Amino acid sequence: MSSSKKCTRCNNGKNVDHLATKCQKLLHLEYTKRHNEVAKRVHSVLGRQIGLPKEKIDAHKIESEVHGKYGWIAYDKTVKTQKTKEYNRPDIILADRRRNTITIVEIGITNQDNLVDTEKFKKQKYEDLIEDLKARQFNQHTKIRVIPYVMTWEGIVTKEHSKYRRDLGISDRMEAHIQRVVIQETHKIVMRDMKPKEDYDSVEDPQAQTGWMPAWMAPVTSGNGPAWIPQPVSA
């Protein structure tokens, strides 16, 4: 394989799929930025469902935890558990008192070869965490669910994706907007390959292992139960 066919950053075989989703040197910067652009839009849609004010996407800022009239939403937070879990840091957790639901949202941008498997993995990765949460004296009617939001770097989705995004309340217009953003961000990533080689080593993640958790997720240490349990809100 000639040098022109190798990635200038990691020296692996170079093609569009590699530059768009597979280069480890791009993982912590470019891929994370694209992921966060999608998360910003999903977060905005979900925030309105719990009474947060509507605002323009460009003005929307993701905060670690925001409370609205009908619940709260958390982003990229580690959930403490009594036993060590391999996966305990979801992209988004939405607590909706009106619907009496806890929704875990996992976002993924991948390629066509891995699309189906990535979506299944995102759907299943928090099963152990859900079982842990169900055992913490939640209201027996509280529904805890995981919804994956996955597409390829070209904006291609699975048949199941349509149901998932409707469950999240993402409209056709917002879906098209997100797909456009993914394509635009991918274009920027690929075009950067035309520039001289730079150092894309991983950066320190300041939020890793923060040990954060909402009060209601804390291990029960007294007979009073969790500090907060989502309840339906009277009209």
Residues of the chain with pLDDT under 70: 1-4, 137-138, 194-235
Give burial (CB, 10 Å; 0-12/13-18/19+) of 235: exposed
| 27 φ/ψ angles, rounded to the nearest 5 degrees | -60, -50
Q: Report the pLDDT value the prediction gives residue 15, as an integer from 0 to 100.
A: 80
Question: What pLDDT is recorded for position 177?
Answer: 96
DSSP string, 101-145: EEEEEEEEEE-GGGHHHHHHHHHHTTHHHHHHHHTS---TT-EEE
**pLDDT reported for residue 221:** 38
**How confident is the model at residue 50, as a pLDDT?**
96
Domain chopping of the chain, boundaries = 8-204
Integer Cα distance of 7 and 1 in angstroms: 11
pLDDT score, position 196: 54
Q: Taking the model in full, what pTM does it have?
A: 0.78
Q: Rounded to whole angstroms, how far apart are CA atoms 193 and 97?
A: 47
- pLDDT, one tens digit per residue, over 98-137 is 999 999 999 999 999 999 999 999 999 999 998 888 877 5
Q: Encode burial over 11-30: b for 16+ CB neighbours within 10 A, e otherwise.
A: eeebeebbbbbbbebbeeeb
Q: Which pLDDT value is given to residue 16? A: 83
